[in-house]
Amino acid sequence: MTEGAPSIFLIILLGFVLTLLMGSFIVLMALLHRKRQLEHIQKIDALQSEFDKTMLRVEKEIQEDTLTHVGRELHDNIGQLLSLTKLTLSSNKPEKSIEAKSLLNQVIKEVRGLSKSLNLDWVSHVSIDDFIKRELAKLEALDFCKVEFENIGHAFEIDNSKKLVLIRVIQECLNNAIKHAKPSLIILKIHYFPDHVQILVSDDGLGFEIGSSCEGSGLLNLSKRMEMIGGTILINSELQKGTQIKLKLPSSMI
């Protein structure tokens, strides 16, 4: 009985040590799991914060473009209509009053259209297809270059915040072509696949070297914006042979 006591004591001690080690291991694993959870939450918060900042920048840029457009319309279009209305009203001919009323109705219509453009809520009421057609129609109206548009597949709805970023990226692609490429033709194709939407913006302009510093910052900005909404951008360009920009947004991110 006395001889067996040390063995029992050792067994109890060993069991206690093993229990202590097991408990320590469990606590350590719980702490590591909690640490990973906190790091994951912090990462998500950082991504959300960056996304919110990107959205604010995009909204600001679109509003600035819109205000520029409004200023141009007020000066060139509505201002001209009002001047014409004033001249018409100054006439003593009865038929001129009818013409003046028609001009005033046109002015009211134009002002209402401008007021809508100042509100970014229009994003929820316009599809990517309609937006592209509208932008290309502007180029055609200016007689800047020839344009082509192709739509393939069944369109699906895109989240408004992601749509706004995508709209801005498309605008930038077109603006870059207008400012730098001097193209005779701009082609824009949108293809709706089951798992993603793909937009191709191509021109037959001057092209550029992908690695050039003057283009690098702008392209990096476009790439970051596509990354923020879960998409990708692929750019191919060659001097004197034009530029092709492919935007891809998975449907799982929409």
Provide the residue-wise pLDDT of the chain in tens; the chain has 254 residues.
Answer: 455 566 777 788 788 888 888 888 888 888 888 888 888 788 777 777 777 777 777 777 777 777 776 776 677 677 777 877 887 888 777 777 788 788 888 888 878 777 766 666 778 888 999 989 988 988 888 788 899 999 999 888 888 888 888 988 998 899 889 888 889 999 999 999 999 999 999 999 999 887 664 555 678 888 988 988 899 999 999 898 899 999 999 987 66
> Three-state secondary structure along the chain?
CCCHHHHHHHHHHHHHHHHHHHHHHHHHHHHHHHHHHHHHHHHHHHHHHHHHHHHHHHHHHHHHHHHHHHHHHHHHHHHHHHHHHHHHHCCCCHHHHHHHHHHHHHHHHHHHHHHHHCCHHHHHHCCHHHHHHHHHHHHHHCCCCEEEEEEECCCCCCCHHHHHHHHHHHHHHHHHHHHHHCCCEEEEEEEECCCEEEEEEEECCCCCCCCCHHHHHHHHHHHHHHHHCCCEEEEEEECCCEEEEEEEEEHHHC
The answer to whether 139 touches 181, Cβ cutoff 8 Å, is no
Nearest to 177 by CA among 224, 211, 136: 136
**What is the chain's length?**
254
Its pTM stands at 0.62
Question: Whole-angstrom Cα distance, residue 150 to residue 198?
Answer: 12
On the 0-12 / 13-18 / 19+ scale of CB atoms within 10 A, 86 is: exposed
Q: Which tokens in the block code for residue 176?
A: 């870059």
- Residue ranges and CATH numbers for the domains of the chain are 127-254 (3.30.565.10)
